[in-house]
Every structure is written in C-alpha cells, then in structure tokens.
Amino acid sequence: MKRVVVALGGNAILESDPTAVAQQKIVQETAESLANLLTDEMELVIVHGNGPQVGNLLLQQVQTESTENPAMPLDTCVAMTEGSIGYWLVNALTNAFEQKKIKRNVAAIMTQVEVSPEDEGFAHPSKPIGPFLTEDKAQELMQTTDAVYMEDSGRGFRKVVPSPKPFAIKESQTIQMLIENGVVTVAGGGGGIPVIRSEGKLEGIEAVIDKDLAAEKLAELINADTLIILTGVANVFVDYNKPNQKALETVSISEIEHYIEEGQFAPGSMLPKVEAAVQFVKRNPANKAVITSLDNLEKAVKEGLGTIVVQKEQVSIR
C-alpha cells in the first residue's frame, strides 16, 4: 500500500477572508481534491500549516488581554489552531468521503513535536506568521514592539518567530497505528506543538515549527513512500519573480542543493519546502518528493507534473 504524507499550507486555507465560514469553505474544496487523490491502496496522512491563523489568534490574544483574561503563550496558540483546523479538515474530509462513497474514517491527533532548546532557530527568528502588512506598517510595529517583521516572497511583510527544527514526534507510533488501520489521519498541524525535554519531562516552548520540516520528519518516522508539499505555485522557481524566472520540473538533489547555496529560495517560505523534499529523498533513494500547488495536485500525481526531487542527476527546467 502506498503511504503518502501531504503537507498543506496555512495560507492555502486563509486567503483574504479570515472568518471561520470562509476558511471552512476553502478547506471543503481542499478535502474534495484530496478525496479525488485517494485510492483503496493509499494510506494518507495530512499535515497542515497554521501561519496566518496562529498569527491572527495571537493578535486577538494581545488585544483582549487583561488580568482576568491573560493571553495564551505561543505553543498553546499553536495547539488551539491545530485543534480548530484539524476539526475543519476532519469534518470536510468526512463529508467528501460520504459524498464519493469512500469508506474511510478520518481522525485528527494533537501532535507534540520535540525540538532542542539549543537550536539556532531560537536566536534567529525566521518563521512568518500572521497577516501580510505593508513595509510602513511593519516598520511602525518594529519600532513600538519587540517583534521582528520580514518581507515574505514579494507579498508583503509578516511577523517572524523562532522556528527550531524537529527531531522527534511523540505521537508518531499512534499515527502509524491509525493509518495501518485505514484511518486517514490529520497530524502535525501547524508543524506540531513545540516541546522540549526538561528534567525528563516534556514542556511547551514559544516557537512555531515549520510544517514542511515536521511533515518530512513524520514521513520518515512512519516510513512513507511519498511526500507531497503543497504551496501557492505549481512549481519551484529559480530567479523567482524576475523576468528570467524558471520553473523546476524533475531536479536532482545535487542540482537543487546548488540552488540553495545560491540563495534562490526564501527562508521561512520556499526554502524549508525544498530542504524537506531533499532530506526525504536523501533518506531513501526510493522515496519521492513533490512540490506543487493544490490546483496541480491531481496532475502532479497522475502525470508527473510539478517539481519532483530525485536522487539521479537529471534536471529539466521550463
């Protein structure tokens, strides 16, 4: 049975309207695409992002904070959005499966992802969360708060927070048991809840784990065959947003690592997607990693479109 992990971006759920109704409508469309992808022979795990949602939740927490109603820390906000988006996905997938007469159960599992307190990510915040802002607004906020804002892929400025790399997933064995029993599983939402081990106990820490790196770690731990990373474009580009931009199709590890060294991919945006794909294929030459858009998902799976990272020395650029 083919074991597939799909990483879905939080930006794909929240476009311009942050209401629950609007986000659930997009999630329903996403669920229908995933239902079209599912076959009887496939075991499917879905990892979703939460960047816009956790950023908006933090804003709400700060704006309503009082002695009686204190703001929740970042790790708890990650858990809250993991729960809400997980619920939306389970509900939407259940409805899509029933409509298509697919006999599969769906479950979402709260996921604790262990990171090192010594990770360099804590010293260099890089993970964008929250809404896109103008440069002027970002500069104003940086002057009045201790927050850090950075430009994100030509779309505006966003707050950035520490993003340590995952090295263990507490619930990985439970997730494996679910998928082995045919349950389509939503896990690692928002990259998972970041935890560190202190005096033999796990405790939450203020950070956001990149969901693509968390998806790769989970794919490794459950011995997945394929990692599909969904983003806003059908292909990874070099010289992105420039007149000479080029789309990568099938690309070798050595070629894409060369592009990484050139600084072709934005930190906190496309870079972790590329790094996750490379890491997954490096672990097993038989593994397949695909980076593409949700709209292109079916063509990527059935026709080999999108950016496919492989071990062999082959690269095609369109």
Catalytic residue among 9, 10, 51, 130: 10
10 is a catalytic site residue: yes
β-strand pairing of 127-133 with 157-161: antiparallel
211 is a catalytic site residue: yes
Catalytic residue among 49, 55, 121, 211: 211
Catalytic residue among 9, 11, 130, 217: 11
Unique residue bearing structure tokens 């997938």: 93
C-alpha–C-alpha distance, residues 297 and 313, integer Å: 25
Question: Which token pair is 306?
Answer: 């999108």
The amino acid at 313:
E
Number of neighbouring beta carbons within 10 Å of residue 70: 10
Catalytic residue among 9, 55, 86, 127: 127
Rg (CA), the chain: 19
Query: Which residues are bridge partners to 237 per DSSP?
Result: 247
Query: Which residues are bridge partners to 23 per DSSP?
Result: none
Catalytic residue among 159, 165, 217, 273: 273
Distances (CA, A) of 47 to 8, 84, 216: 6, 14, 10
273 is a catalytic site residue: yes
- The catalytic site residues sit at 10-11, 127, 211, 273
